[in-house]
Amino acid sequence: MSEHGLPAATAMSAAGPGRAPAGRANIDYVVITAATAGGGHRPNDDAIGVNGWVLTAEDVNPLDLTVPVVDHRAAVVSLTDGLAGAAGGDVAAAVAARRLTARQTQRSATAEAFREAFRQADELVHEASTDDLPGIGCSAAAVLIRADGRAFVGNVGDVRLYQILNGYIGRLTRDDRARTEEGPSGADRVVTRCLGGRLRIPVEVHFTEIPVLPGDRLLLCSDGLYDTVSDSEIEQALKAQRPGHAIAGLVKAAKSRGGGNITVVLLEPRGRSVRGPAPVLTPQPSPQPSPEPPPQPELASAEKTSFLKKLLRG
Amino acid sequence: MRRPKPTRAPESAPETAPFDGVPLPPLLVNLVESPRPFASGGTFDFLRLATWKETGRPVVIKHFKKTNPDLEKVWQRWKSADERHVTRLLHTEKERVRGGGTQPWYFEVTEYHPLGSLHDYVEKLDDHRLAEEQALEVLAQLTEALNYLHTSIAEGNRSQNLVHCDIKPSNILVRGTDPLDVVLADFGSARLLMTEQKVETAGLTVPYAAPEARWHRAPQMDWWSLGISMIELVQGFHPYVNPTNLELLPDPVISEMVRSSPVPIDSEPGPRWTNLFQGLTAWQIGERWSAQKVGAWLEGKHLDVDSSIGPRGGQELPFEFAGRTVYRPRDLAREMRTHWSASAALVIGSAWTDLLRWSKEVDPALRGRLDAVSRELIDKRAHVDLIVTETLVQLDRSGPPYYRGERMEPEDLGRLAVRAEKGDREAADLVVALHESGSLSALGNLHGRLSLHEIHVKWRTALDVALPLTASIPSWIDAIDRTELLIKTLRAALNDEYAKYLSDHVDKLATERAARHTQWFTALINAARTGERTPAMDALVTVCFPLLTRTGRESGRESGTDQQEEAEDDLGTAARTAVFAPRPAPDPPIVKSVWRVWPRRLDRQVVRPKPWTRRRKLELVAVVWAGTVLPVIAASGVGLATAPVQGMLAGCAFALGAGLLWLAVNLRPSRLRGALFGGWLGMVFGYAVALFALVTVGPVLGAAAGWPAFWTVWTGIVMAATARGAAR
């Protein structure tokens, strides 16, 4: 039984695009670019977790990080967002971020360890509740990227993870939230699942496994962004600008539209990749043989190669 | 654990409500006395309290507008039902409407239970939940009551049995508390079993409604509602509450959660109760517990539960896409064609899972085809546009060809290419994306769109010839406009007349001065015009022509000159090779004649087209003057002093020297250029040495020996200098 509620046999094929690795990929490191802005009158309750580090800030310049990925240690990045309207959201976010990206998750780097990280983060957030801060909770999304190009994505609540392919943006996470009444502001929405909270319900993680290739892009963001900036605007910004400028611009745009607690984290795996065989379409319906392709200019390629060699030799 | 007081659903009725003045019907007026306002319920029903004349006991009169098509039959069954399980229905009556203007009022009279509903009873408890013994008692009684309704009420005739359709704590009345005695009430939403019902949601209480209630009403939905009710009664709060403040979530949110995930169950009541709750709220109708399994559970058994989510039947299921709800694959394809970015998000994101699940329900064959898309395209990381196109094809093979929201019939493609060639940036981007994704081929799989596949093959074949050659353009030249090449080859693939226009255009370009004087471009033109003419090569020549002017500019640079010249050679060779490769190579010559080699070498030399600057013009004048006036003067002098033949030879030597000098200056560094320079220098210095030989030999041996000595020495020196220049 998968986290999607599908029978195990169908869970893999139904887990989203690119479920099986295409070719081979070696991820050597992940470039992380992050930007955040607080909510003004109350502290920023978003927290970024990177390999056990917890980053929180108010209005700061974008941050660039390079996280190495090796065989025995994956890169784990999370974004947690304290429940709005409740005190202690920042505490819950920090506790969850620390556990989600902790060393044991990096080291084992298995799907089960990744799920277990969510379960334990839920427990820790529950335990962090006190009489002064009862029922604190947070939304969370995390991604674990392994050196072999496999990545695990999980989320609870309303933090999102997008994947950007060929300039298009697609959401890999599922929101656990709903609108309570008509209205443009996030205050009209409620989170229906979270880590921690008043109820001790076994945490249900939306889990997906995807392949990542060098050059792919993943975007973690809190509701402060996507409540005010549309997916197509995010898509356009990432297409047109360099990462740092793009996410800084997104945060700025969200803030200018009244958003608060906006955090955006862009992840770019880098390394070497060996593409698999070219995609094959379904058999063509052509009743007649397709025109004979002309002979390939093999010698032309050879000439090109020799020319390049000459250039390289200077 | 003490729970905070939960906020209840709207079903919680206010204790009093204004009497709306609806007069009681004539029969009922004679049966009751002292009617008075009691409470209001749903939208159309109102309650009054009265005294039943026959027994003197209080009764509840409810009047409402009819929304239940089975109402009269339900009343009939209810009246005959066992009082141990349902509250007693004493009287029913329909208002007589004169004039047919409005819907009539319906009246029903039931016995009054002063303890109120189970909801009211639990509200009054300290922790808002039943003790375990009470919960077990309530469960046993309700199980028996539901089993009675579903199977026994009409003594074996299943079509006469009832589904309550609205089980919830506020519709369960408390008849006594010691022991707790409960009965079912309010059959306003009930249906007869096995009755074909149009799908409608009127009368449903969403927080207690089963996932299938949207399209199907069956006894199993009562068991789901019982499960939700028991969760609420045992754990002290409804399962679908906001975790931060325990307020009941809005109906649409609950509907979505019910449809997509297991019912959230608090762990505090313990695993035994969790087993019951999960069994009663099993998503699959066939796996949901009913009287038999609940009875076994009450006996202390732990039973297996099915925790799968998602329908298995063949109902017409909705699919949400881009804010719209569709029910058929064809409708989804229509929406996808007009919402391309949303379609891309669908194939990239987690919603693809939903599509696969939905497709399995609506058409298992479609699921198989989409699985193939997953396997062959998504898993192999094909271009997103191609995945979307192929998905569209699989959803609706009879649909029109669309790509990024644009219709893609051949004539539309033609218009697109024309727009792109005229400089429409958007159209050009579309052509590039169409090429990169290969979507045109996928569109060819639509019914009746084979021509698109053929166009794709022609286009791709042409580009297979042209694109490798563009890679040979050296870096010092501005990159070739590949977009223009794509557009021109697409137009040529679509239209034979355009292909002919390209061919004619190349013939015209071949006559241009810049074309004739640029070796690599000449090679390209020759390649394009030799053998079978291909639109791809014609397009490439057309696209490359503007590079000639850039070549001229680049030649002014000091750096990169050697690279430029080598690259020119490479490109010319590549162009020749691309075209001549299909032909069988000629047999190699046995003897490589110098005369067969040099003309080719010469042919490869590039006369660089320099701009005609003032300096170059002066150089030309000097060369012309040196090549004509000086030889004439020298020839005249020598002829007058000696013989006309001598003068003619001297003039030719001067003219040859000037010509060699001009040619050497304009050639790129090579052996030939070195030889020419060497020869010219030899002519100049050789003249002085030869003159010395002449004045030495001539006076001694006479003019007959002096002049041959002069020409011999001079020729020898020129040849030696030429060889030395070539060697350097």
ipTM: 0.78
Per CB-CB distance under 8 Å, the chain B contacts of A167 are: 384
Per CB-CB distance under 8 Å, the chain B contacts of A231 are: 341, 345
Between CA B447 and CA B455 the distance in angstroms is 15
What superfamily does domain A17-273 belong to in CATH?
PPM-type phosphatase domain (3.60.40.10)
Residue B511 near residue B475, CB atoms below 8 Å: no
> Which of A174, A201, A284 faces B266 most closely, judged by CB atoms?
A201
Chain B, residues 241-280, CB within 8 A of chain A, namely 241-246, 249-250, 252-253, 256-257, 260-262, 264-268
B381/A213 CB distance under 8 A: yes
Kindly compute the dihedral angle of the four CA atoms of residues B410, B414, B415, B417, in this order, to the nearest 10 degrees.
130
Between CA B223 and CA B168 the distance in angstroms is 11
> Which of B461, B534, B577 faces A299 most closely, judged by CB atoms?
B577
Chain B, residues 448-477, CB within 8 A of chain A, namely 450, 453-454, 457-458, 461, 464-465, 468-469, 471-472, 474-475
Token couple for B80: 């005959």
Exposure of B125 in the CB half-sphere (CA atoms within 13 A):
20
- Contact A134/B at CB under 8 A: no
- Contact B284/A at CB under 8 A: no
Between CA A159 and CA A174 the distance in angstroms is 9
> Which of A16, A192, A285 faces B257 most closely, judged by CB atoms?
A192
- Contact A289/B at CB under 8 A: no
Cα–Cα separations (whole angstroms), residue B412 to B290, B401, B402, B448, B723: 60, 10, 10, 16, 66
Q: A179 to chain B, minimum CA–CA distance in Å? A: 7
Chain A, residues 242-271, CB within 8 A of chain B, namely none
Sign of the dihedral through C-alpha B248, B251, B252, B254: positive
Q: A159 to chain B, minimum CA–CA distance in Å? A: 14
> Which of A191, A281, A301 faces B442 most closely, judged by CB atoms?
A281
Could you report the per-residue pLDDT of A274-309, keeping only the tens digit for each? 555 444 444 344 333 334 433 333 333 333 333 334
| DSSP H or E segment with residue B65 | strand B58-65
Per CB-CB distance under 8 Å, the chain B contacts of A18 are: 378-379, 381
SS3 A31: strand
- Could you identify the residue written with the tokens 């009093």? B16
Between CA B431 and CA A83 the distance in angstroms is 47
A170/B346 CB distance under 8 A: yes
Residue B431 has a CB neighbour count (10 Å cut-off) of: 24
Per CB-CB distance under 8 Å, the chain B contacts of A291 are: 457-458, 461
Model pLDDT, residue B202: 53
User: Could you list the pLDDT tens digit for every one of the 314 residues in chain A?
Assistant: 333 332 332 222 233 333 334 455 789 999 999 999 887 666 788 999 999 999 988 877 888 999 999 988 999 999 999 986 667 888 999 999 999 999 999 888 899 999 999 999 999 999 998 888 888 899 999 999 999 999 999 999 999 999 999 999 999 999 887 655 444 444 456 788 899 988 788 888 999 999 898 989 999 999 989 989 999 999 999 988 888 899 999 999 998 988 888 999 999 999 876 555 444 444 344 333 334 433 333 333 333 333 334 433 43
Chain A, residues 11-30, CB within 8 A of chain B, namely 13-20, 22
**Proportion of chain B above pLDDT 90, given as a percent:** 16
Model pLDDT, residue A75: 95
Cα–Cα separations (whole angstroms), residue B18 to A38, B40, B60: 50, 8, 15
Kindly compute the dihedral angle of the four CA atoms of residues B556, B557, B560, B565, in this order, to the nearest 10 degrees.
0
Model pLDDT, residue B193: 62
Residue B13 has a CB neighbour count (10 Å cut-off) of: 18
B445/A281 CB distance under 8 A: yes
Q: What secondary structure letter does DSSP report for B197? A: -
Domain map (residue ranges) of chain A: 17-273
B469/A300 CB distance under 8 A: yes
- Contact A294/B at CB under 8 A: yes
Residue B113 near residue B172, CB atoms below 8 Å: no
SS3 A190: strand
SS3 B215: coil
- Contact A314/B at CB under 8 A: no
| DSSP H or E segment with residue B648 | helix B644-666
The pair phi, psi for residue A100, each rounded to 5°, is -60, -35
Between CA B227 and CA B6 the distance in angstroms is 18
Residue B680 near residue B705, CB atoms below 8 Å: no
Model pLDDT, residue B629: 73
Per CB-CB distance under 8 Å, the chain A contacts of B336 are: none
Could you report the per-residue pLDDT of B594-606, keeping only the tens digit for each? 334 333 444 444 4
A179/B468 CB distance under 8 A: no
State which residue of chain A sits closest to B369, comparing Cα positions. A282
Between CA B614 and CA B607 the distance in angstroms is 19
Q: Which residues of chain B have pLDDT under 50?
A: 1-19, 40-44, 154-159, 195-201, 313-314, 551-564, 567-568, 570-572, 574-608
Mutate to test the interface with B, among A4, A166, A306 (most CBs of B within 10 A): A166
Residue B364 near residue B412, CB atoms below 8 Å: no
Between CA B524 and CA B537 the distance in angstroms is 8
> Over A152-174, what HEC string results?
EEEEECCCEEEEEECCEEEECCC
Per CB-CB distance under 8 Å, the chain A contacts of B534 are: 294
